[in-house]
Structures are given as structure tokens and as C-alpha cells.
């Protein structure tokens, strides 16, 4: 079982990587567009079905006067799958001394079920974080609200986990690059979903990029043309990975992702062939 939480600092910010499920699982669907010999070698495995550490993660940000949660995990589905730590995001928060009512902001990379499930309490069907404002890209919610997606499980999950915040006047829809605060900027990186955003954190001259699902594994930041099977627009997602890699190099940023095992931190370096991931741990 992978680690379920870890905390690190960047500038004045304290950042906790929190798991809502940390299984070992095969990642063939995340690399199904790539030559199996190439991607298995990159991951250090010999067969496409070999399980590797994976994570369904969120990030808690403190130190800028607010308590911010980036994505809210997989909830009941992770428990049903029997994942280690599955559906335990609130337990991870509690271990850090953070109650539901202390979360000020929930900021979404996108609205897939494994990123928004704890917006509402899956037992009570009520808002989980009663004092939080929910941030999501307008293009993201608009996509899942399309009438042709009525009855679609992913769309219905996105709707169910945003509607209560809208009804409570706590939903903030964003357009383009959006500064949630001086410390946190939502950076559009569409392709995985139409309104997908990655996060850029800034504090005391230091930077952190949280990829969201623009990269499910550090290898995706070296090979932008390895298209995860869940990306709705492969050409757009390829451009987004290129954009994200360039941003990380420009800022000299640490890089991590919600699906990276806890704790994975690295930096990208320009090389003749493109980009190289280098561990920062």
C-alpha cells in the first residue's frame, strides 16, 4: 500500500498530499496509445498488466490565510473497490486537525467522479464543506450539463456534486486563467476534459505545478504524445502537456499530480529531445 498522506512546504505555504485511495493497479489504459515496450520500460515493469503504485489524491493548501482543498477524491466508489485508504479523505483531513467547516475553498481541476466525490456527503447527500466556495471552470460544468449527457454516470456525478453549492450561492465558475488568490492560479489545460485546469501555486518566489489529469504519471511530462485513454480530445491534451511542461521550466517549479503516488515531487528540465523529469526528493 502506498502512503496516504505527506506534508511539505513551499515558500510560506504548507501543502498536504492526501489520498482517497492508494491501490496498486495496472496503468495500461493510461498508456494505451504508446508502444508497450516503451512505456513499460519507463515505468520499470515488464508487462502491461503489472500493477504499479497509483493514487486518487487531493491537496490541502494552508498558509495564505485560507484553507483550500484541490479536488475531493473518489468517495464511496473507492471504498466499494476496496482500495487502501479508499473513501477516507475526511479521515486524512481530520488527522491534520482540519474539520469540514474549516475548508474555505474547494478548487477543481475537473469534475470526473474521482475528483469531486466528496463535494457532497455520499451518505447524507448534503454539502460536505458548508463554509467553502467551490471553484470550477465554466467550460467544464457546461460540458457535463449538456442535455445529450443526461443519464450518463460521469455527467450525473458532476451535476450532483456541484448543484448543492450552486443552490447555496457557493459556486464560482471561472473563465480562462483565473487567480483564485495571490497564491493559487487555475491554468486551463483542456483535453482530458473540455474545462480541465492545472494549478499554479506561488509563494515567496517559489512555484508548484499540480498537473491534475493533464499528466497521470511523470512519464506523461516527458512524452506528451502518450495519450491516456480517458482524454476526450487527444490533440488538445497533447498541447496542454506541452504548455504545462513549458510553464514548469519557465517558473523553475516543483511538479506533482493527484494520481502520482504520495509523495512524488520533481522538476522538469529541457533536453535536446524535449523534457526530462528529475526527482526533487
Helix (H) or strand (E) holding 42: helix 36-43
Measured in degrees and rounded to the nearest 5, phi and psi for residue 93 equal -65, -45
Measured in degrees and rounded to the nearest 5, phi and psi for residue 246 equal -65, -40
**CATH superfamily of this structure's domain 5-279:** Ribonuclease Z/Hydroxyacylglutathione hydrolase-like (3.60.15.10)
Q: What's the chain's average pLDDT?
A: 95
pLDDT of 122 reads: 65
pLDDT of 123 reads: 64
What distance separates the 2 farthest-apart alpha carbons in the chain?
A: 54
- Ramachandran quadrant class, 212 (left: phi over 0; alpha: psi -120 to 50; beta: rest): left
pLDDT of 161 reads: 96
Q: Quick one: pLDDT band at residue 139, thresholds 50, 70, 90?
A: very high
pLDDT of 281 reads: 81
Give the residue, 224 or 273, on which the prediction is more confident: 224
Distance in angstroms (rounded) separating the CA atoms of residues 281 and 265: 6
Proportion of the chain above pLDDT 90, given as a percent? 92
At 96-135, the pLDDT tens digits run: 999 999 999 999 999 999 999 999 986 666 899 999 999 9
Q: Does residue 1 carry a pLDDT above 80?
A: no
Q: How do strand 57-62 and strand 52-53 relate by DSSP bridges?
A: unpaired
pLDDT of 41 reads: 94
Question: Distances in Å between the alpha carbon of 128 and those of 106, 158, 223?
Answer: 11, 15, 37
Distance in angstroms (rounded) separating the CA atoms of residues 168 and 118: 17
pLDDT of 32 reads: 85
Q: Quick one: pLDDT band at residue 76, thresholds 50, 70, 90?
A: confident
Cross-strand partners of 203: 206
How is residue 187 written as a grid cell? 491554468
Burial annotation 119-151 (CB, 10 A radius, 16+ → b, else e): bbbbeeeebbbeebbbbbbebbbebbeeeeeee
Q: Spell out the alpha helix ranges (H) of 203-254.
A: 219-222, 234-251
Q: Which residues contact 166 (CB under 8 A, 6 or more apart)?
A: none
At 19-68, the pLDDT tens digits run: 999 999 999 999 988 999 999 999 999 999 999 999 999 999 999 999 99
Distance in angstroms (rounded) separating the CA atoms of residues 72 and 60: 10
Amino acid at each position: 500500500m502506498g502512503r496516504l498522506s505527506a506534508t511539505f512546504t513551499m515558500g510560506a505555504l504548507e501543502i498536504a498530499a492526501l489520498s482517497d485511495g492508494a491501490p496498486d493497479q495496472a496503468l495500461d489504459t493510461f498508456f494505451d496509445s504508446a508502444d508497450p515496450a516503451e512505456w513499460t520500460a519507463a515505468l520499470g515493469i515488464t508487462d502491461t498488466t503489472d500493477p504499479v503504485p497509483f493514487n486518487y489524491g487531493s491537496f490541502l493548501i494552508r498558509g495564505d490565510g485560507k484553507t483550500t482543498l484541490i479536488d475531493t477524491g473518489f468517495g464511496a466508489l473507492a471504498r466499494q473497490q476496496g482500495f487502501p485508504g479508499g473513501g477516507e479523505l475526511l479521515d486524512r483531513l481530520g488527522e491534520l486537525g482540519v474539520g469540514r467547516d474549516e475548508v474555505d475553498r474547494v478548487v477543481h481541476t475537473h469534475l470526473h467522479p474521482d475528483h469531486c466525490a466528496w463535494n457532497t456527503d455520499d451518505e447524507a447527500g448534503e454539502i460536505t464543506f458548508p463554509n467553502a466556495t467551490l471553484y470550477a471552470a465554466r467550460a467544464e460544468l457546461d460540458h457535463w450539463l449538456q442535455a445529450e449527457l443526461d443519464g450518463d454516470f460521469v455527467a450525473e456525478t458532476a451535476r450532483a456534486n456541484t448543484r448543492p453549492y450552486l443552490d447555496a450561492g457557493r459556486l464560482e465558475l471561472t473563465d480562462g486563467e483565473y487567480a483564485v488568490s495571490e497564491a493559487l492560479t487555475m491554468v486551463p489545460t483542456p483535453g482530458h476534459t473540455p474545462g480541465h485546469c492545472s494549478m499554479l501555486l506561488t509563494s515567496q518566489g517559489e512555484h508548484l505545478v499540480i498537473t491534475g489529469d493533464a499528466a497521470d504519471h511523470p512519464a506523461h511530462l516527458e512524452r506528451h504524445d502518450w495519450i491516456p485513454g480517458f482524454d476526450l480530445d487527444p490533440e488538445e491534451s497533447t498541447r496542454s502537456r506541452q504548455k504545462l511542461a513549458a510553464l514548469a521550466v519557465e517558473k523553475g517549479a516543483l511538479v506533482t499530480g493527484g494520481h502520482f503516488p504520495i509523495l512524488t515531487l520533481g522538476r522538469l528540465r529541457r533536453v535536446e529531445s524535449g523534457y526530462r523529469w528529475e526527482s526533487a526528493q
